[in-house]
């Protein structure tokens, strides 16, 4: 059966930035024929430059430099240019705290707060090239800290507030950060989540950190170390409002964001200034069809790349009103998000399939109790959206009026690469549809040969694009090896996909040892390394198990050291252990004890077999290299008993 197709509504298409398939195709082929000319035009139109470039792209594979000798500043583009325009009194950020407190910051006011904080950082001696870790709840001071760093060229790395002290420490050390910007805590499901204690714990092993700056959000009692820890409000009280944006090289590092790779060590994805800004500003208009009067809400936490590109930098650079909500979608009730959409008259709403599936489970009565008629466009990101969730989102939330943009991209791509231009491209539920102008994907086999239509293969990108990853922080060899060595001359995404005969892309999921839990990337190795640090554990193998709500769930196979262990108790202890070592979002759903793990003769754990066990209860693949076939039989039988 061919899938349903949803052409753009007439009314929507008539007002869209890009109208009709022909217009899309023209734009796409213009970019294909002359990528540098195309991106040069986009960059000149969307970004303010202090000094122009002489060359758009300097491509020395796999290292790219975009607009290399030009000068610009992300903070200037997100703030100063709007604060000096008709937008100065427009809300830049609308914020709602979980307890119900609210703030509306106009472009002028946000600019003022960022300038003050940048002045604080400058006066304390931080300079372009220094590194700062930001570990904060979803309060406006988080983007303020990011924008203040960007203003001075301080490279920031935001660490999601759900990460543990251990995970935070690893990131501080890898980045060589001199400063940590944090808060006492934040609110989540009616409780205070404490952040500063995790910073204190991490800093015991981080001698490179000179200072912390602590924003007071919850007012809880926290210890402050004299000479090292400073309250944000004390420093702000003495701040000046004179701190101009530095004229930075287009390739100056903007941020490093850590993400899971295929080893136990997270990799620091490096993004730079001018190309990144060009890419995310353009996609705000192409994909979200952003208009002056829109209220735009992306529900992602700023600690993930979606929050960087499409809560903070993209919307602000494009002059939008971006909404931030601090807390959980189900607090105090399951209609919190729908209430927010109604209250702020949100026009564009961007969220993850996991969130949609969790809300579907609660029933339609929650959204139905609210007026969602302000919505004009819906978005999805982070994982494949199953057609049933798509249809629900379309019908119950969008009332069959709002196109859904299913946006494919990654931490490494910086911005969206495959997604519909909603006024131009007919939608097919479950497909991210067509590549955006300037994105040149391909689907290939193990030897790098293109596979035909409707065949599964590896998704690659054949051409550099401005928002692309520039390097892995401190590890160029890993950068080359992970992304550019599998298919010569092409970027390897790590995703499997197929293209149908209309040229639509269907993303099938990861092909490497990376799980996708609730749209968050998690490496099997990272969880395994955490488990084997526990004194009872001899060996561990971790696989993603299909899960109705979160897409995948963490399933662990564990062998124990000699001893008399209570499996129930130890199972619970190991779940908590992983939460402590990585963060609560990595907490395993299932721990399965076994006396051995299936391995190849060379000693490699055969995760593929374990994946089959958790997916289908049986093993059908090739097991000829298995050291001990009985191990597989026992693991599968154990599952049948449960």
Q: Which residues bind ligand PRX (CB under 6 A)?
A: 259, 305-306, 381-384, 406-411, 432, 493-495, 507, 509-510, 516, 521
How many other CB atoms sit within 10 Å of the CB of residue 477?
9
How far from chain centre, in Å, is Cα 100?
Answer: 26
**CA 567 to CA 563: how far, in whole Å?**
11
Q: Give the span between the Cα atoms of 406 and 400, in whole angstroms.
A: 16
- Determine which helix (DSSP H) or strand (DSSP E) holds 461, and give its type and residue range: strand 456-461
CB nearer ligand PRX, residue 344 or residue 350: 350
**Nearer to ligand PRX among residue 382 and residue 598 (C-beta):** 382
Contacts 24+ apart (CB under 8 A), 35-38: 35/438, 35/463, 38/437, 38/438
**16 near 422, Cβ under 8 Å?**
yes
* CA 111 vs CA 91, 107, 233, 249, 469: distances in Å: 11, 6, 17, 22, 28
Pair 529, 492: CB distance under 8 Å: no
In contact, 167 and 192? CB cutoff 8 Å: no
User: What is the DSSP secondary structure assignment for residue 545, as one 8-state letter?
Assistant: E
Residues 41/447, Cβ–Cβ less than 8 Å: no
Nearer to ligand PRX, 329 or 384 (CB): 384
Rounded to a whole number of angstroms, the minimum distance from the CB of residue 258 to ligand PRX is: 11
Nearer to ligand PRX by C-beta: 313 or 577? 313
Q: Residue 496 Cβ, how far from ligand PRX at the closest point, in Å?
A: 9
Q: Rank residues 151 and 279 by Cβ distance to ligand PRX and give the closer one.
A: 279
Min CB(520)–ligand PRX separation in Å: 6
Closest CB 141 distance from ligand PRX, rounded Å: 24
In three-state secondary structure terms, 53 is: coil
How far apart are the C-alpha atoms of 278 and 286, rounded to whole Å?
Answer: 12
Going by C-alpha positions, the residue among 120, 123, 136 that lies closest to residue 181 is: 136
Cα angle value 128/130/131 (rounded, 5°)? 130
Report d(CA 473, CA 337) in Å as an integer.
36
Least Å distance between CB 407 and ligand PRX? 5
Other Cβ atoms less than 10 A from the Cβ of 188: the count is 18
Q: Which is nearer to ligand PRX, 73 or 493 (CB)?
A: 493
Nearest residue (CB) to ligand PRX, 257 versus 542: 257
**Between residues 113 and 158, which has the closer beta carbon with respect to ligand PRX?**
158
Residue 83 near residue 111 (C-beta atoms within 8 A): yes
Show the beta-strand stretches assigned E in 429-536.
Answer: 441-444, 456-461, 471-472, 491-499, 505-510, 514-517, 520-523
What is the longest distance spanned by two Cα atoms in the chain? 72
Identity of the residue, 235 or 389, whose beta carbon is nearer to ligand PRX in the bound complex: 389
**Chain centroid, CA 141 distance in Å:** 19
Please name every residue paired with 151 in a beta bridge, in sequence order, or none if there are none. Answer: none
Residue 332 DSSP one-character state: S
Q: Which residue has the closest beta carbon to ligand PRX?
A: 411
Shortest separation between residue 305's beta carbon and ligand PRX, angstroms: 5
Exposure string over 110-144, b if 16+ CB within 10 A, otherwise e: bbebbbbbbbbbbeeebeeebbbbbbbbbbbbbbb
What's the min distance (Å) between Cβ of 263 and ligand PRX? 16
The answer to whether the CB of 411 falls within 8 A of the CB of 257 is: yes
Give the CA dihedral 600, 606, 610, 615, nearest 10 degrees: -120
Least spacing, CB of residue 269 vs ligand PRX, in Å: 8
Q: Which CB atom, from 406 or from 612, has the smaller least distance to ligand PRX?
A: 406
C-alpha distance from residue 335 to each of 11, 188, 338, 343, 605 (Å): 29, 16, 5, 12, 44
Mark out the alpha helices in 132-177 (DSSP H runs). Answer: 141-152, 165-175
Using the minimum distance from each CB to ligand PRX, give the nearer residue, 75 or 523.
Answer: 523
Q: Minimum distance from CB of 354 to ligand PRX (Å)?
A: 11
Nearer to ligand PRX, 92 or 427 (CB): 427
Specify the residue, 298 or 397, whose C-beta has the smaller distance to ligand PRX. Answer: 298
Smallest separation (angstroms) from ligand PRX to the CB of 505: 9
Bridge partners, 158 (sequence order):
134
Nearer to ligand PRX, 180 or 419 (CB): 419
Q: How far is the CB of 176 from ligand PRX (least distance, A)?
A: 23
Is 71:254 a contact under the CB 8 Å cutoff? no
Q: How far is the CB of 501 from ligand PRX (least distance, A)?
A: 20
Residue 585 CB, nearest distance to ligand PRX (Å)? 12
Work out how close the CB of 47 gets to ligand PRX at its nearest, in angstroms, rounded to a whole number: 22
Q: Which is nearer to ligand PRX, 170 or 461 (CB)?
A: 461
* Residue 620 Cβ vs ligand PRX, minimum distance, rounded to whole Å: 24
């Amino acid at each position: 059966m061919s899938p349903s197709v949803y052409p753009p509504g007439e009314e929507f298409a008539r007002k869209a930035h890009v109208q009709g398939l022909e217009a899309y195709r023209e734009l796409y082929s213009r970019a294909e024929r002359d990528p540098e000319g195309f991106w040069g035009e986009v960059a000149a139109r969307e970004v303010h430059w202090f000094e122009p470039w002489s060359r758009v792209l300097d491509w020395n594979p796999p290292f790219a430099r975009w607009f290399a000798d030009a000068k610009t500043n992300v903070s200037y583009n997100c703030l100063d240019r709007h604060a000096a325009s008709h937008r100065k009194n427009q809300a830049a950020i609308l914020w709602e705290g979980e307890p119900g407190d609210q703030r509306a910051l106009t472009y002028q006011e946000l600019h003022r707060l960022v300038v003050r904080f940048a002045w604080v950082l400058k006066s304390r001696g931080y300079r372009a090239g220094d590194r700062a870790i930001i570990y904060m709840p979803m309060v406006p001071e988080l983007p303020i800290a990011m924008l203040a760093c960007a203003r001075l060229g301080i490279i920031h790395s935001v660490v999601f507030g759900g990460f543990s002290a251990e995970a935070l420490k690893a990131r501080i050390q890898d980045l060589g950060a001199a400063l940590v910007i944090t808060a006492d805590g934040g609110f989540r499901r009616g409780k205070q989540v404490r952040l500063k204690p995790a910073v204190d714990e991490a800093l015991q092993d981080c001698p490179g950190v000179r200072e912390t700056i602590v924003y007071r959000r919850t007012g809880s009692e926290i210890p402050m170390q004299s000479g090292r820890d400073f309250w944000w409000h004390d420093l702000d009280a003495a701040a000046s409002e004179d701190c101009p944006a530095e004229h930075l090289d287009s390739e100056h590092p903007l941020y490093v964001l850590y993400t899971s790779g295929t080893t136990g060590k997270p990799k620091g994805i490096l993004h730079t200034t001018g190309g990144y800004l060009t890419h995310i500003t353009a996609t705000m208009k192409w994909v979200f069809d952003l208009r002056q009067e829109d209220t735009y809400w992306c529900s992602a936490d700023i600690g993930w790349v979606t929050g960087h590109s499409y809560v903070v930098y993209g919307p602000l650079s494009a002059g939008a009103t971006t909404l931030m909500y601090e807390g959980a979608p189900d607090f105090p009730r399951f209609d919190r998000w729908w209430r927010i959409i109604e209250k702020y008259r949100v026009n564009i709403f961007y969220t993850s399939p996991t969130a949609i599936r969790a809300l579907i489970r609660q029933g339609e009565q929650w959204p139905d109790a609210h007026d969602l008629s302000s919505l004009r466009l819906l978005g999805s990101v982070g994982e494949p959206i199953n057609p049933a969730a798509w249809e629900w989102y379309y019908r119950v939330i969008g009332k069959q009026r709002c196109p859904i943009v299913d946006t494919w991209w990654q931490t490494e791509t910086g911005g969206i690469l495959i997604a519909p231009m909603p006024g131009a491209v007919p939608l097919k539920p479950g497909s991210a549809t067509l590549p955006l102008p300037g994105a040149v994907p391909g689907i290939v086999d193990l030897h790098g040969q293109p596979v035909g239509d409707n065949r599964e293969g590896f998704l690659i990108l054949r051409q550099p694009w401005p928002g692309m990853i520039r390097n892995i922080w401190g590890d160029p060899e890993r950068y080359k090896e992970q992304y550019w060595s599998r298919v010569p001359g092409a970027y390897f995404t790590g995703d499997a996909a197929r293209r149908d005969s209309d040229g639509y892309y269907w993303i099938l999921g990861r092909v490497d040892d990376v799980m996708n839990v609730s749209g968050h990337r998690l490496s099997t190795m990272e969880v395994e390394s955490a488990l084997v640090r526990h004194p009872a554990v001899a060996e561990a193998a971790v696989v993603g198990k299909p899960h109705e709500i979160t897409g995948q769930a963490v399933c662990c196979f564990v062998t124990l050291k000699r001893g008399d262990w209570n499996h129930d108790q130890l199972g619970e202890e190991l779940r908590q252990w992983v939460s402590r070592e990585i963060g609560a979002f990595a907490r395993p759903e299932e721990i399965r004890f076994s006396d051995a793990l299936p391995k190849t003769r060379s000693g490699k754990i055969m995760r593929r077999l374990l994946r089959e066990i958790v997916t289908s209860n049986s093993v059908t693949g090739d097991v000829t290299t298995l050291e001990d076939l009985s191990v597989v039989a026992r693991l599968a039988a154990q599952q049948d008993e449960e």
